[in-house]
Every structure is written in structure tokens, then in C-alpha cells.
Amino acid sequence: MTRVFNFSAGPATLPVDVLQQVQDELLDWQGTGMSVMEMSHRGKAFVSIAEQATETLKTLLNVPDNYKILWMQGGATGQFSAVPMNLLRGRDTADYVVTGSWGKKAVKEAARYCSAQTVARPVDDKFTHVPDRDDWTLNPEAAYVHYTPNETIEGVEFPDVPDVGDVPLVADFSSTFLSRPIDVGRFGMIYAGAQKNLGPAGVTIVIVRDDLIGDVLPQTPTVLDYAKVADGESMLNTPPCFTWYVCGLVLQWIQRQGGLKAMAARNAAKAGKLYAFIDASGYYRNPVKPEHRSWMNVPFTLPDAALDADFLKGAEAAGLSTLKGHRSVGGMRASLYNAMPEAGVDALVDYMKEFAKKNG
């Protein structure tokens, strides 16, 4: 078997160590005689898996005691509805900072439930930078301020956590979750789909402050009510048990690598190496303002889009998979999540050098 370097934006590459452990335990998890996929979610075995995963996540992120960690379903897209349903709390307006495609989707969905105001967005609608903080038109009476720290499609990333005063800050961390330490206490709530840095698709992590839950819109489905999910220990219905289990193994793997500080150092080095090559190549181009470039998702273009198909064909032959950019922006995109080894970046740079030499 030969594994490729998988640069997919998600579902994404997973640590080989974790996949091997899953393989070893697939038919018989720790002497139970059954797979995790076959276990009752109410049984002691799976409850122990779930509790350990939650505790490991809490330790890695240093989650304060006045926050709930919820394992939900529906992806970030489900949270686009769940956030206003749970966090409006009697108010009728919320602020949204839009820096890419996922921010656009979030504010559009929120508008079904409240007056969702776009308070910052690039004037030319070309998502290549984060609007200057002084230009944001925040409403101090808003129920919350929502933003997307990393835009997976456009490769735009906030360099730091924005200051929004006393209004709760909400963040869709899907494509940058666990890539570095974050101060959870600065947020009212964060959420993230698992399928980038945490595990297979099927689970969405929600970390929400206690005082923000319990007062939902009347039409809120029970499975999207944060207070009820918390009371049910994330098991109001049968959860995606296997995904939860794999996420727990990935969390343990992150601990073995040295935790989130070590992840940050690795991720900064990988992204820095690829951006440095792109900038110096005179052939490839990244459109994002340097200080707002993503560590996780690196889009780049060739001088002539007519060469894209040849580039992708050669990349696949070289064991470099899923480099095609999103259809809305074209070009290429290399996603460098936690499980992507630096050797993958080295292999990509070597291939890009050869392709430019041949076609430049």
C-alpha cells in the first residue's frame, strides 16, 4: 500500500498512527469483542470513550469550567442556524464580519431568524484580506458578533482575536481548530466541524459559555438547543459514535506531539515554507495579503489557467492528491492541517519547481 500526500480541504488527511490504531481495534475494542461501531452509546465502554475525548479536549484547550463542550451534528452549516436560535436571548440583531464564502453563508442563514447585519466586508468583495478593525460598524446592542477566523476557500485568516467589547464573540473555527492554542475565555462560543484537524466528518464541536444558553427561540429543534444537548451529555439521540471515538484518538495524538504549542510551531513552519516558495518562484501566485494568509489553506494560481489540468495530472502521478482549488476561485489549494507532515510540503514544493521549470 502506498499512501499519497492528501491536500484535501476536508474531509482531510488523518494521522497514520491514529488510522493504524483504528485498524487494530476495528473488530475488537479493548477486549469487548466488538467494534466501536457496534457499541451501545449508553454502554460503559462507549461512555468511557466519550468522556475521555471530552476531557482531553478540555485539557488541550484549557477550557474554563464555566463552558460546556458539546458534541453535535450538522456541521458548521447546522450551527449557522443554531447560533442565532440559542444566542439571540430576546434580542433581534446580530453582527457578522464577512471575510469569505463561509462568512457569507453564515450571515445569510442567520437572516432567517434575526436582523443579521454585515458589519465588515471587503468593499470589492474580493476576499484577499481582513477589513481593518477601525472600519467595522459594530452595534453595542447586538446579541453577538460572529466571524470566521480562517476561510477555507479563499485562504484568509485573522492574525489575532478581534476585540468586540462586551458583546459575546462567536467564531466558526472549523478549518483552524486545534492548529494552535486559543484563549477560549475570550469567546462567548466557538464551533468547529471535525473533518479538518480533529477526525472524520460527522461531529461538530461546540464550546459555549454557560450564561449564553437556556433561552432559545420557540422554533428551535431540541437537537439544536445547547442547554438540552448539555443536559443530555451530547446524547439526546444516538451520536456518531465511531467519529467521536476517532476524534478522541486524534486528540491523544496531538497530546503526544507536544500539544497545541507544538502544533502551532509545525503549522507555521509548513505554511511559511510553501508561501516563501510561491513568493520567490516568479511563476505561482497567492492573492492574499501576507499578514492575512492562512496557515491551513494555501490557494495559489499558475500563470495560465490552461495549465491547471496538466498540473493536477502530474501532481496525482507524483502522489500529491486533491490540489484543485474550489470552483468559486479556481487555481490550486493546498490544505496543511495538523496531520500533513512537513515531508508533504517538501514533496509539493519539489513538484512545483519541476513543473515551473518545464512550463515556464
What are the structural domains of the chain?
A: 16-256 (3.40.640.10), 259-359 (3.90.1150.10)
Q: Is 71 a catalytic residue?
A: no
> Is 104 an active-site residue?
no
Q: Which of 68, 196, 270, 324 is catalytic?
A: 196
Alpha-carbon dihedral sign for residues 94, 98, 101, 103: negative
The residue annotated as part of the active site, out of 71, 102, 244, 295, is 102
pLDDT of 168: 98
pTM > 0.95: yes or no: yes
Residue-wise pLDDT tens digits, 290-339: 999 999 999 999 999 999 999 999 999 999 999 999 988 899 999 999 99
38 alpha-carbon distance from chain centroid? 28
253 is catalytic: no
Q: Beta partners for 55? A: none
Question: In 3D, which of 339, 23, 25, 343 has the Cα closest to residue 179?
Answer: 339
Q: What is the pLDDT of residue 1?
A: 66
Predicted pLDDT of residue 75: 96
Give 320's strand partners.
5
Residue 65 has φ and ψ, to the nearest 5°, of -70, -20
C-alpha cell recorded at residue 241: 459514535
The phi-psi region of residue 172 (left if phi > 0; otherwise alpha if psi is between -120 and 50; otherwise beta) is beta
Cell numbers for 185: 475565555
CA separation for the pair 259, 358 (Å, rounded): 41
- So what's the pLDDT on residue 125? 77
Q: Which residues of the chain have pLDDT under 50?
A: none
Catalytic choice (172, 225, 270, 295):
172
